[in-house]
């Protein structure tokens, strides 16, 4: 374990739900997962449906401290957006960065999603070498 990164805790009761979500992925989750696992995105290992604290994020890379979320139209509702913000703020307090993409962006412009992830990795690696 990296001594400079916090241990990521989670509610153990989410384990079965995360497994269910992995086995019942949405089309856009499958599309992005197929790309993330290809070559492990420059050597970084991503996990699907990763429990963190009391929630499950769509994708997570511990080495990058990066969570990736795909938001379907359900997330357009005001109460859901409010819950998403609260959840994201609590997870970000652990030092985790979020990248959020709409379902449509992943479905129709996956290339731009992959570019955004690569740009995050570039910035992360640049900052890491400056420490």
Q: Which domains does the chain have, with CATH numbers?
A: 14-130 (3.40.960.10)
For residue 16, pLDDT over 60 is answered with: yes
pTM over 0.85: yes
pLDDT average, residue stretch 17-30: 95
Contacts of 82 (CB under 8 A, 6+ apart): none
Contact 120, 114 (CB under 8 A): no
Measured CA to CA, the distance from residue 110 to residue 28 in angstroms comes to 9
Per-residue pLDDT band at 40 (split at 50, 70, 90): low
């Amino acid at each position: 374990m990296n001594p400079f990164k916090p241990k990521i805790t989670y509610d153990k009761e989410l384990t079965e739900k995360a497994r269910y979500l992995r086995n019942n992925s949405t089309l856009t989750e499958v599309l992005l997962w197929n790309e993330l696992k290809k070559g492990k995105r420059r050597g970084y290992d991503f996990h699907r449906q990763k429990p963190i604290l009391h929630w499950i994020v769509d994708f997570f890379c511990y080495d990058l401290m990066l969570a990736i979320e795909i938001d379907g139209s359900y997330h357009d509702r005001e109460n859901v957006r409010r819950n998403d913000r609260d959840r994201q703020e609590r997870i970000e307090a652990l030092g985790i960065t979020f990248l959020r993409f709409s379902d449509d962006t992943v479905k129709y412009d996956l290339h731009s999603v992959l570019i955004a992830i690569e740009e995050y990795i570039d910035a992360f690696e640049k900052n890491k070498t400056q420490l």
